[in-house]
Amino acid sequence: MPDFAALREEMVARQIARRGITGRRLLDAFREVPREEFVPESVRDLAYEDGPLPIEAEQTISQPYIVALMIDAAGLAPGDKLLEIGAGSGYAAAVMSRIADEVVAIERRPELARLARARMARLGYDNVRIVEGDGSIGLPGEAPFEAILVAASGSHVPDVLRAQLATGGVLVMPLGAPDALQKLVKVTRRSADEYEEEDLGPVRFVPLIGREGWRAPDEITAPLPELIRRAAEPLPDLDDPGFGEMFDRFAAARLVLLGEASHGTSEFYRARAAITRRLIEHHGFSIVAVEADWPDAANVDRCVRHRPKREGEEASFERFPTWMWRNTDVDAFVRWLRRYNQGRAHEEMAGFYGLDLYNLGGSMRAVIDYLEGVDPEAAKVARRRYGCLEPWSRDPAAYGRMAVTEGYGRCEVGVTRMLKDMMARRMECARPECDEWLDAAANARLVRNAEEYYRVMYQGSAESWNLRDTHMYETLCQILEAKGPAARAIVWAHNSHIGNAAFTEMGREREELNIGQLVKERFGEQARLIGFGTHTGTVAAADDWDAPMQVKAVRPSLPDSYERMSHDAGVPAFLLDLRHGVTERALEEALTTPRLERFIGVIYRPETERWSHYAEAVLPNQFDAWVWFDETRAVTPLAGEHEAEAKGAEETYPFGL
């Protein structure tokens, strides 16, 4: 017979205390409760192993450290009343009863509830009450609770549970899809309607079944394509005013992020243009921020807001991949935006801004040109500081190679000082003069961040991706702040940038973040993320970076991918609203099983498509909505005869200076 008392003491020391949980009351509670009494006879000898164990009803008892982590996060104290959801064997409730005054634990499985009650009575834990029922809705009639611990994972923290917390109370719960890596969150109630959320790290739990949780597997009967078909809202033609109206439901947000599954598909550009026109004309949005370099987009912005061209200014988007922004769909939208702004007051105009950081040379020139007009002496300083980067301005990747070879960034100090000097000139943006300052400040930020980006890009890690997306997020925030608290923005960028990376393979396995994740963390429900997808058709793309553009056939989507499920729904074009509480519960749960999703950038290699263009994602957590076009076609580049066709009263500005 094992010496359970010695094993219990060793468990507390090695599995809990050594991992940083040192509260005396909590450690004493674990020392007091005999874990071997809460597991079946067949695994009693393993009761103090460092991991979960099977119990009755095909369930598990959690790893001791995870139980300790959740209790520690809850901050239990004598006098507290707490609610546990998912009583299981009753072990965690017994441990918590040694600290709190009253423990109420809900268990939905009758067998487990019966066994847990018997254990409490036999072991004398008379301040624990086991209740059989739906834990996903808690016990509203017995609230408030100083702590709520949920031992099962949900897609979200149910509002009905938040409401049962006392002010200052804490809820600890895992979030994520069943059979996937989840995150443990801590929610603290600060006031009647204010909650603070903290991520405690990755975990794995069984699913929370119930009205506010997942459906039991035997309750889900319809196949996913059928569930999509029932929920899909067919979209009218892209030229129909009703297309944009379909997206009015997202107009209350401050940020609407519009994605694309490739950088060369006409339907994605035309759809974003239609939605953007609607949001600008009818809902007061005034910022269009795109996945493009700031100086190139600034040329377009001067055109659409009827500001004079800069002397010696280059045409926009003349570097690879030119078709991404120099195409007939973007040209049509830019011309519409110029007409919309005609005759409007400066503060009523909608602007066009770039978020990306590739045009290093253009940004350095823009900062110097601005300073020449307002402070020639400062312009001299800028020339000296940027002189370090000038040899690499046309080929900044060469600077990255040099930095790797030499082991440091020789230009870092100068570009950082230049940014600080520009930010010291900060001004209010209620007057036209602000546009020039905002332009110069954004360019100074681009130079600083691009220097670091090209320095780390050869390391082959997530760092360069994260630097780029953080730069785009910071630039977006800078525009919003400059335009004032009422400013509202629309973002055009690839799905990989605007879908929440925390719920994709990017974030889970590669530790990459993106704009969508960052805006959700800061703006919450005031940011809406809308992804786009297609099954087949054609796309404008290249074989390699700097290679010629080709019109390529898009292979039919892979079996069991989100795209194939959308195709099999049989609706040619649709909007799928993925917001919790709007989506049918069965569909939300079915979609939350991680699946492959296709990402085509400016490079498309059909022969290696599975490995180069698919990644795993959880669609309803990644996006607030999914826009589907079953068959799509490539964009038409704005060049040659197409550029000539686009000429009008304004000639070819801003694309043909």
**DSSP letters spanning 502-515:** GGBHHHHHH----H
What does the pLDDT read at residue 585?
A: 82
CATH number of the domain within which 302 lies: 3.40.1660.10
Find out whether 615 and 499 touch, Cβ atoms under 8 Å: no
* 228 and 139 housed in the same domain: no
Residue with token string 């930020």: 445
* 423 and 288 housed in the same domain: no
Single-letter residue type at 433:
E
* 209 and 227 housed in the same domain: no
What does the pLDDT read at residue 510?
A: 82
End-to-end CA distance of the chain: 87
**Distance from the Cα of residue 452 to its chain's centroid:** 23
H/E stretch holding 21 reads none
* 533 and 400 housed in the same domain: no
Find out whether 164 and 140 touch, Cβ atoms under 8 Å: yes
* 383 and 234 housed in the same domain: no
Q: Final residue of a domain: which of 435, 450, 484?
A: 484
Q: Which residues neighbour 70 within 8 Å (Cβ) at sequence distance 6 or greater? A: 92, 149, 151, 172, 184
> Structure pTM?
0.68
Give a yes or no: residue 466 inside a domain.
yes
* 70 and 189 housed in the same domain: yes
* 422 and 382 housed in the same domain: yes
How many structural domains is the chain composed of? 3
Using the Cα atoms of residue 494, residue 498, residue 504 and residue 508 in order, give the sign of their dihedral. positive
Give a yes or no: residue 195 inside a domain.
yes
* 464 and 541 housed in the same domain: no
Q: Final residue of a domain: which of 484, 500, 533?
A: 484
**Token code pair at residue 630:** 């079953």
What does the pLDDT read at residue 393?
A: 46
What does the pLDDT read at residue 459?
A: 53
* 56 and 130 housed in the same domain: yes
Give a yes or no: residue 656 inside a domain.
no
Single-letter residue type at 56:
E
* 335 and 244 housed in the same domain: yes
Active site residue 266: no
* 69 and 195 housed in the same domain: yes
Give a yes or no: residue 561 inside a domain.
yes
Give a yes or no: residue 175 inside a domain.
yes
Alpha-carbon span 519 to 576, nearest angstrom: 21
* 315 and 363 housed in the same domain: no
Give a yes or no: residue 655 inside a domain.
no
CATH number of the domain within which 45 lies: 3.40.50.150
The low-confidence residues of the chain, meaning pLDDT below 70, are: 217-221, 310-314, 358-375, 378-440, 443-462, 640-653, 655-657
Of the listed 62, 136, 393, 464, which one is catalytic? Answer: 62
Domain carrying residue 345: 221-353+488-649
What does the pLDDT read at residue 58?
A: 83
What does the pLDDT read at residue 408?
A: 42
Q: Which residues neighbour 598 within 8 Å (Cβ) at sequence distance 6 or greater? A: 261, 533, 557, 558, 561, 563, 609, 613, 614
Q: Final residue of a domain: which of 185, 217, 249?
A: 217
